[in-house]
Structure 1
């Protein structure tokens, strides 16, 4: 009965509509599934193979496309990993692909030309992702785009052969040329309701709840939390997934697909933020990059929220630009909730700075808890609604760290957060020592926190006791591909020492050399010089010119094996992993189970 009432409140849709490179697509839901990604649709249904496919985890960036939206009359363009986005999430979207922004017929886009002329391609497989990531940066940032932003924004697009020097140089050369574009008058579309410039006006002006029915599952979209809770009640014991950015599937693969998907990207109660001098209430479904903006703005406006600037900087170390564009705070916390071993940076900084989570159940009753207590709550049919942060005064000292195998796009080997409330003579009143990457259960170094209470932080004897306490308290577990437990233990202790050196007054340091141990290395903008001799009188011999295939690669025209259509009688191969130990000798191979499952059978 409840299921029928819910479906009466939602409009049944049998089609989804979106634009790709200016062309409208109308897709019958009978031809897709919730598990089908935008990448699969572009390549297999639309034959737009310029968008590549590789890791299917949002890690390599070959699949990047740009999404354009208009919010309050303002145009916003951002990059996403098409391999993570469900095709059903694209209803109403305006999508740009590498073929759509430029090519041999309509003319090449400046980004495509710059990468080709700068010798930024070799095999060219990553080039479309590189181009679309840069395209989104230019379109989304306009004249505010800086060389630093460009250099920091390509951790999510991996190149395995060219080397990043020519790629970064090619794209940085575009920064000085970039300026805000002005739409042609014939390109303007005015919303019939408010008269503001918009595209996809019909979709944006109508806020409809709807659902798609499939043979094994349903996809629903709602716009308020009451309807969301009604859906969860009606779901009974069905497997369900709340869909935000859907980026978690890149970390932990979903082996048992849900029976119910609920798109909550438009639920106002979990995407709205309130801030004043007394508190910041962050909608839990806010994206990571939007959270960075909110935190920086609050830090600039309210002195008590200066620490949010450091939280924002830490968030920029999480994943990559395309992931942070659609991945959400609540989504990251739910990964940590489901997989306690996950070294979530969002969980770490929220726990360090004493955030409060507001969780609501199907009765819309609110539960307030710390991030640590949240891990012990049964979240079945519960939703994280808000993250509440309070101002911190000048009596507190804080730092957070993330140590990872590479500078970008990596989980932490160990991450750490320290927040100490100190009296004027440096006596510890309230310590918080938080580590991630130790084990599934370790959060606080509780015994060491107790040891510090009422003692001077910068007393050498107290510090020696603290190091000994941490050495006993931190007992890392280990499984591949973790760094060794010994390394992670001493790294955690070293990070605490680094915090102490950073905050210690200079007059208390026994040596000026110690102060350098408290700072992090600051990476300057990369520089490079390439010199080679030529003989102009012999040109075109020895004349440096871009290779012939470069523009075909940067515009997505170059075809690779996976881009070619299947041929009659084509066979396929796949690696089968062995369960035996390495270097074992094969006795026999039994293919019978695989042969039975072949389509031709």
Structure 2
């Protein structure tokens, strides 16, 4: 399955980032430190060392630490940023060294490839399923044809299983087809039309949109990019393809897909292929298209004149790493020099209302040809939207109330109108369109020290820091399991506030491999976790 991959672990990189993290006291228990280091190494390598402090913060939206409070970690990583006030920035030599990998056995740089890909289809036959990895579309469609009638699933990043675990569990399929090896899914073309392959990850899509948004007729991509930045976390965005997200929406129309809403607002077209050939459809037709034995190949991203105004909206429990309660995309062609006239039927698309409600068709029809600075038009649009937005109370177990989602949807349209008309609106209303933007985080640590008395009170790197940040520190999971190792598990009472009258472990002891049932009576000495503390805390309950 890893054929052709190049996998770099912390043992294979230079010590530039580990030393920086250690110097800033960014490790405490050190368990997460290798992950923090590899995340920063990848960010610097991807951007050739040229990163901003915001990019660093954005890259750390899902690398978890429970000890340090993140401040020293972010301080260390931000010190590599080009806009960092810290003078200890990465030097040119550092950046050159970042891209080098090292052999942990010899300490020398690695050269060549450990396992060059042979460029051939793989097939792995398991006890319950067959795993294929085709290299071409022809191979893919032949696999699908040969396994007609079997329960088949095409797999890319497999991030959707985190949402619909039981339905997408790989154990439930007869045939699994890994399509990551099909090079035709990774096309990136800009001449004459922008065509982006279905195999591009959401992170790659963000990067392309970031570089393209300054191009004439593609400025609207800045808003699409910001919405995509709020999809899941960086690790999911880097693994998941945008097309896979659309297929999840196709399978579950109730899924609150930020990607689908964004691409609908962008009015993209999808190139879909099967064994008979390919055809191009507007994304608005996608959810009604039969995708049996078909695959999304790419999307066409249209150019738009400046009078098209595209905005995306999302409300969720958190800014990132959270599904939308309700999200929306709005695209209108507006004549800003003629009373903000809506020149054609707009696009107003939602997720999180119900599985069947995508476009606010009545509101779209109502707004065509009307002025957005006419109070009666605004009121009419909001009233029309309120009449057609009827949230499903059972769309999702964690969704907020019907009334809340309805008001949020109406608020999106009102915010859009205020945003478009800008200073034409009275000052008391303008804040309704102003997004809440979190500034860069910052923090300071101060402590008493007298440089004249150093080394007394001199700040020092803790002794184990380098071992932790370079991944050399050993933890329990790193210790090889010895033959005959025993495992223990707590037996939990089914009643919280009660005294146990008796315990009968006979059934458990009769099970193969169970050797002993331990109670407080088996503990020698005092049954106390902290014998030096006056208030005794028993190791195990006595009653």
Same fold (TM over 0.5): yes
- Structure 1: any 5+ residue segments left out of the alignment? 1-87, 103-108, 189-196
CA contact (8 A) 1:275 1:298 kept: no
Does 2:162 align with 1:250? Answer: yes
Helix, strand or coil at the partner of 1:433: strand
1:342 has 2:258 as partner? no
> Of the candidates 444, 456, 459, which is equivalent to residue 374 of structure 2?
459
2:50 pairs with 1:148: no
Cα 1:347–1:577 shift into 2, 3 Å:
farther
The 3 A distance-change label for structure 1 pair 586 and 329 is: farther
Query: Structure 1 497/408 Cα, relative in aligned 2: closer, same or farther at 3 Å?
Result: same
- Match in the other structure for 1:361: 274
Structure 1 position 584, deviation (Å): 13
Aligned to 1:416: 328
Q: 1:447 and 1:182, CA in 2 relative to 1: closer, same or farther beyond 3 A? A: same
CA contact (8 A) 1:372 1:443 kept: no
CA contact (8 A) 2:3 2:115 kept: no
1:207 aligns with 2:119: yes
Residue 488 of structure 1 corresponds to: 405
Separation (CA, whole Å) in 1 of partners of 2:399 and 2:491: 24
Q: Which residue of 1 aligns with 2:305?
A: 393
Contact 2:202 2:228 in 1 (8 A): yes
Residue 31 (structure 2) pairs with residue 125 (structure 1): yes
Gaps of 5+ in 2: 82-88, 103-109, 516-543
CA change 1:352–1:295 in 2 (3 A) is same
- Give the C-alpha shift of residue 348 in structure 1: 0.5
1:173 aligns with 2:79: yes
Determine whether 1:328 maps to 2:237.
no
> How far, CA to CA, are the matches of 2:498 and 2:387 in structure 1?
39
Q: What's the offset of the Cα at 1:494?
A: 1.9
- Alpha-carbon distance in 2 for matches of 1:312, 1:422: 22
CA contact (8 A) 2:340 2:421 kept: no
Tell me the distance in 1 between the aligned counterparts of 2:111 and 2:226: 32
CA distance in 1, matches of 2:41, 2:493: 39
1:570 aligned partner: 486
Contact 2:170 2:176 in 1 (8 A): no
586-595 or 231-240: bigger deviation: 586-595
Find the aligned partners of 1:572 and 1:119 in 2 and give their Cα distance: 35
* Secondary structure of residue in 1 paired with 2:346: strand
Query: After alignment, is 348-357 or 481-490 more displaced?
Result: 481-490
- In structure 2, the CA distance between the partners of 1:444 and 1:178, relative to structure 1 (3 Å rule), is farther
Matched residue, 2:195 = 281
Q: Aligned-pair distance for 1:425?
A: 3.7
1:168 shift after superposition:
0.6
Q: Secondary structure at the match of 1:451?
A: helix
State the partner residue of 2:447. Answer: 532
Matches within 5 A, 1:205-244: 206-244=118-156
Distance 1:375 1:471 in 2: 24
Map of 2:417 onto structure 1: 500
Deviation of 1:139 after TM superposition, in Å, equals 2.1
**What is the DSSP-based 3-state SS (H/G/I as helix, E as strand, rest coil) of the residue aligned with 2:253?**
coil
Alpha-carbon contact 1:397-1:420 (below 8 Å) kept: yes
Output aligned runs, 1:188-203, within 5 Å: 199-200=112-113, 203=116
Q: Report if aligned partners of 2:386, 2:406 keep a CA contact under 8 Å in 1.
A: yes
- Is 1:137 matched with 2:43? yes
Cα distance change, pair 133–304 in 1 and its aligned pair in 2 (3 A): same
Secondary structure at 1:358's aligned position in 2? strand
Please report the RMSD computed on the Cα atoms of aligned residues, expressed in angstroms. Answer: 3.7
Counterpart of 1:291 in structure 2 is 205
Distance in 2 of aligned mates of 1:142 and 1:295: 19
Name the CA shift for 1:126/1:442 in 2 (closer, same or farther; >3 Å).
Answer: farther
The runs of at least 4 aligned residues of structure 1 exceeding 6 Å deviation read: 574-578, 582-601
Q: Does 1:91 align with 2:3?
A: yes
Q: How far apart are 1:201 and its partner, in Å?
A: 8.5
User: What is the match of residue 464 of structure 2?
Assistant: 549
Q: Is the contact made by 1:340 and 1:441 (CA closer than 8 Å) also made in structure 2?
A: yes
Which string of whole-angstrom CA distances, capped at 9 and with x for unpartnered residues, describes residues 550-571 of structure 1? Answer: 3333222334444444453523
Partner Cα separation in structure 1 for residue 326 and residue 504 of structure 2: 43
- Show the counterpart of 2:351: 436
Q: Distance in 2 between matches of 1:584 and 1:434?
A: 54
Contact 2:325/2:399, CA 8 A, preserved across alignment = yes
How far apart are the structure 2 equivalents of 1:554 and 1:561? 17
Deviation at 1:539, TM superposition (A): 5.9
Distance 1:217 1:585, change over 3 A: farther
Distance of 1:534 and 1:236 partners within structure 2: 74
Instruction: Give the equivalent residue in structure 1 for 2:529.
Output: none
Distance 1:598 1:425, change over 3 A: farther
Q: Give the drift of 1:408.
A: 2.8
Structure 2: distance between partners of 1:438 and 1:363: 36
Task: Report the Cα offset of residue 170 of structure 1.
Answer: 1.0
Q: Computing the radius of gyration over CA atoms, which structure comes out larger, 1 or 2? A: 2
Give the equivalent residue in structure 2 for 1:16.
Answer: none
Corresponding residue for 2:229?
Answer: 316
Residue 525 of structure 2 is matched in structure 1 by: none
Aligned to 1:55: none
Secondary structure of the corresponding residue to residue 349 of structure 2? strand
State whether residues 283 and 385 of structure 1, in contact with CA within 8 Å, keep that contact through their aligned partners in structure 2. Answer: yes
Which of 375, 384, 388 matches 1:469? 384
2:20 paired residue number: 114
Indicate how the Cα distance of structure 1 residues 493 and 383 shifts in structure 2: closer, same or farther if over 3 A, else same.
same
Q: Deviations over 1:372-412 (max 9, x none)?
A: 43223332311111212322223322211233333333222
